[in-house]
Amino acid sequence: MIQIALPCTQATSEEHPTMSQVVRMLYTQLAAERWEEWKQVEVTRRQDYETLQRSFNWADDSIHNLEAVELSCGR
């Protein structure tokens, strides 16, 4: 925000950015911040998913490595 505000405080009005330039700078700054937030959320979500997936890998292994086991005697 300071980087956007400083040009607006120049001594002469000719050195000030136009309002459309200020809005564009604000939008760009906001978009960059939101992109960083989104990336962090996605990284966290992916890590959670991978952790969850690893915790269930034992189930995949046990499904494919079954041996016939007699559970009880014939009736």
Structure tokens at 26: 């604000």
- Cα dihedral 59, 60, 63, 69, rounded to 10, equals -50
Q: Where are the alpha helices (DSSP H) in 1-75?
A: 2-5, 19-55, 57-64
- CA-CA distance, 30 to 53, in Å (whole number)? 34
The pLDDT value given to residue 22 = 87
The pLDDT value given to residue 1 = 78
The pLDDT value given to residue 33 = 84
Please give the model's pTM, rounded to 2 decimal places: 0.45
SS3 state at 50: helix
The pLDDT value given to residue 65 = 57
Extract the residue ranges of the chain whose pLDDT is less than 70.
Answer: 57-70, 73-75
